[in-house]
């Protein structure tokens, strides 16, 4: 199996909505974004699948060295992981930053440091690392003319991560993780135990509605920052936004019941939304 084939399989197996936005890209850009996505999945899996925290930290440290090797191949250093090998050819033609790739790893390590987030400013830093930076790197792959597009991409990444957090409240709680800011739980009269023990209530519904409004604010900020000349290149992100905003609508229409179930869209519906967005674009 080649490095590119490994990355493709990783993307398909994830079942993520991101995969559906890649389908509309030219081959080289699709190969590059798939390698970036596979890297994000690999380092995220380190945290999710390692029961021993010290082992997870060692693996993340190893990944930092792999990224250094990706950018040092001409000096005799070669990465060993198939995803890192796939990234080698990507960074030769696309301006991806080693520092930003390492920032993503820093964000994954925050999951080892934090099981709770005291306030939104701390959560926003996490979202910046694991999603805002990914948005900017994706924008580099898709291509842009106006640097304001990077602001769009960063805000869109934050919106995606906030959507993920809303969708996965119950699933994260079963891993003893709560990403909803603690001061906002207090504000809406919801306790950590309510979330950990899946206790639905009107207060919890209002809390999630508040989170949805915040996510929508970041979508709006992203769209308002996207220059018209870069809209066509950035269509994959707009496809993702259409899918994720539909997901938010489903959650809200369903009464914000995210503690006992994980709301999702069918593959056919994602393809339909993607196709409609592509045609309109």
CA dihedral 180, 183, 185, 191 (to 10 degrees): 110
The string of pLDDT tens digits covering residues 215-259 is 999 999 999 999 999 999 999 999 999 999 999 999 999 999 999
What is the mean pLDDT of the segment spanning 95-103? 95
Where in the chain is CATH 1.10.600.10?
1-96, 114-281
Give the per-residue pLDDT at 281. Answer: 65
Percent of the chain with pLDDT over 70: 96
Give the per-residue pLDDT at 72. Answer: 85
DSSP symbols for 110-139: HHHH-SS-SSHHHHHHHHIIIIIHHHHHHH
DSSP symbols for the chain: --HHHHHHHHHHHHT-THHHHHTTS-HHHHHHHHHHHHHHHHHHHHHHH-SSHHHHHHHHHHHHHHHHHHT-GGGT----SHHHHHHHHHHTTS---HHHHHHHHHHHHHHHH-SS-SSHHHHHHHHIIIIIHHHHHHHHHH--SSTHHHHHHHHHHHHHHHHHHHHTHHHHHTTT---S-HHHHHHTT--HHHHHTT---HHHHHHHHHHHHHHHHHHHHHHHHS-GGGTTTTHHHHHHHHHHHHHHHHHHHTTS--SS------HHHHHHHHHHHHHH-
What is the mean pLDDT of the segment spanning 21-49? 90
Mean pLDDT of the chain: 92
Q: Which candidate, 258, 118, 126, places its Cα nearest to that of 184?
A: 118
> Cα separation of 140 and 153, whole Å?
10
pLDDT at 83 over 80: yes
Give the per-residue pLDDT at 11. Answer: 84
pLDDT band at 151 (very low <50, low <70, confident <90, very high): very high
User: What pTM does this model have?
Assistant: 0.93
Q: Which candidate, 115, 113, 109, 151, places its Cα nearest to that of 130?
A: 109
Give the per-residue pLDDT at 16. Answer: 67
pLDDT at 184 over 70: yes
Give the per-residue pLDDT at 75. Answer: 54
Q: Which fold has domain 114-281?
A: Farnesyl Diphosphate Synthase (1.10.600)
**1-96 belongs to which homologous superfamily?**
Farnesyl Diphosphate Synthase (1.10.600.10)
């Amino acid at each position: 199996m080649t490095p590119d084939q490994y990355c493709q399989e990783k993307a398909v197996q994830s079942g993520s909505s991101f995969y559906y936005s890649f389908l509309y890209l030219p081959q080289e850009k699709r190969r590059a974004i798939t390698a970036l996505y596979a890297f994000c999945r690999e380092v995220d899996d380190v945290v999710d699948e390692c029961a021993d925290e010290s082992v997870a930290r060692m693996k993340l440290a190893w990944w930092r060295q792999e990224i250094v090797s990706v950018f040092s191949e001409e000096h005799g250093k070669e990465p060993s992981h198939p995803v890192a090998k796939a990234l080698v050819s990507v960074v030769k033609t696309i301006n991806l930053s080693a520092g930003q790739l390492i920032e993503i790893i820093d964000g994954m390590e925050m999951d080892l440091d934090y099981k709770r987030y005291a306030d939104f400013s701390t959560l926003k830093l996490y979202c910046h690392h694991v999603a805002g930076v990914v948005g900017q790197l994706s924008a580099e792959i898709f291509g842009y003319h106006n640097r304001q597009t990077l602001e769009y991409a960063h805000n869109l990444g934050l919106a995606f991560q906030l959507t993920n957090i809303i969708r996965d409240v119950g699933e994260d709680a079963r891993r003893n993780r709560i990403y909803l800011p603690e001061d906002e739980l207090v504000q809406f009269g919801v306790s950590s135990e309510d979330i950990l023990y899946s206790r639905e209530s009107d207060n919890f519904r209002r809390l999630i509605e508040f989170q949805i409004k915040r996510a929508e604010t970041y979508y709006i900020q992203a769209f308002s920052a996207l220059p018209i000349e870069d809209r066509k290149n950035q269509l994959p992100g707009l496809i993702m936004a259409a899918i994720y905003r539909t997901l938010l609508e489903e959650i809200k229409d369903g009464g914000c019941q995210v503690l006992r179930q994980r709301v999702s869209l069918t593959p056919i519906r994602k393809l339909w939304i993607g196709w409609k967005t592509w045609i309109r674009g």
